[in-house]
Amino acid sequence: MAQPIMKKRIHVYYSGSVQGVGFRFTACRTANSLGLTGWAKNLPDGRVEVVCEGEENPLDTFLRKITSVFQQYIRDADISCGQATGEFDGFDILF
């Protein structure tokens, strides 16, 4: 019998020069291409907050791609992981 696929949630706060560079739109496009759900939003303090749910390998790919594309803009990424809640239908940009 096959094991059920365990989905995870990552919650990331990106800091640096991450606003005004297409960060949220790239996160959305990348998440959608990997079948991930969640959201990204700018915070008043200049950080970008991302919540993303899905299988572990696509989540790892998401983190690698975002870091690769924005490596010159990201100063720090505070990442926490947990169990997925399944509350999202897609990946959205919150305003």
Cα angle 88, 32, 24 (rounded to 5 degrees) comes to 85
- Residue 83, Cβ neighbours under 10 Å: how many? 10
- Given 29, 42, 47, 57, the catalytic residue: 42
The H-assigned helical ranges of the chain are 23-33, 56-69
Catalytic-residue membership of 42: yes
**Active centre residues (catalytic):** 24, 42
